[in-house]
């Protein structure tokens, strides 16, 4: 007479156990990759290289470099625009690299629900 319900041996079936191990391995790998991404730097230039901004994967600005010729006291607005453009581009690069990493880790699997993964 067969048992009703449950799994033979009283434990998880082999496939479920393997899936759990695989999920744990993936989670560790994602955490390691995320830490590496946080320390990675992204540099963008604006104004033909007159302004250069570097950000980390954590979206922290770590460096701003200005060429002498772009520093014009009579045109502060242009310098502000160039700094803003370079910063936004560096942040976009960081976002894109993070999205590529997540896509690679999940194999393009959509987690749905509009979650930012």
Coil, strand or helix: which one is 65?
strand
Q: What is the mean pLDDT of the chain?
A: 84
Q: What share of the chain is helix, strand, coil (3-state, %, to 5)?
A: 55, 15, 30
Q: What is the pLDDT of residue 23?
A: 83
Work out the average pLDDT over 84-110: 87
The pLDDT tens digits of the residues spanning 33-45 come to 888 888 899 999 9
pTM: predicted TM-score of the whole model, two decimal places: 0.69
CB atoms within 10 A of CB 20: 11
């Amino acid at each position: 007479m067969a048992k009703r319900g449950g799994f033979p041996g009283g434990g998880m079936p082999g496939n479920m156990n393997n899936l759990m191990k695989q999920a744990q391995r993936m989670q560790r790998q994602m955490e390691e990759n995320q830490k590496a991404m946080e320390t990675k730097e992204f540099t963008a230039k604006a104004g033909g290289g007159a302004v250069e901004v570097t950000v980390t994967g954590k979206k922290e600005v770590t460096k701003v470099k200005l060429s002498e010729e772009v520093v014009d006291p009579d045109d502060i607005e242009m310098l502000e625009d160039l700094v803003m453009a370079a910063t936004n581009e560096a942040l976009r690069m960081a976002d894109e690299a993070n999205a590529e990493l997540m896509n690679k880790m999940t194999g393009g699997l959509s987690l749905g629900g509009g979650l930012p993964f």
